[in-house]
Amino acid sequence: MSATTLSSDWTLDPAHATATHSSGVTVVALRGNGRGRYRAVPLPDTLPAPGPGLTDDDCEFVARLVGERVREGARLLLDLMKRGHIEGATLH
């Protein structure tokens, strides 16, 4: 199955069980406990690192924004998986 673009912000790739935001933040689904149960986690290498010169308020804003993106990607990906579109997906 090919990648699915939901909006200009997110692309879901059922073959690899990933959701990728246009900013590069990627969430992957991993099998959880129980049949058909999954958990979604961000790929650490895709999360932005704070840069020099950011204020505490800037860092808090970035952390909140990234957290919202991760939650949104996880929700989209897990909703797709609940519909059974990931059967036999490979995870990298």
pLDDT digits (tens, 9 = 90+) for 29-55: 988 776 667 889 999 999 887 778 888
pLDDT digits (tens, 9 = 90+) for 51-62: 788 888 988 998
Is 90 exceeded by the pLDDT of residue 80?
no
pTM of the model: 0.74
For residue 40, list its beta bridge partners: 29
Q: How far apart are CA 18 and CA 69, in angstroms?
A: 13
Using alpha carbons, list the distances in angstroms from residue 71 to 45, 51, 66, 89. Answer: 17, 23, 9, 21
Q: What value, to the nearest 5°, has the Cα angle with vertex 31 and ends 26 and 35?
A: 145
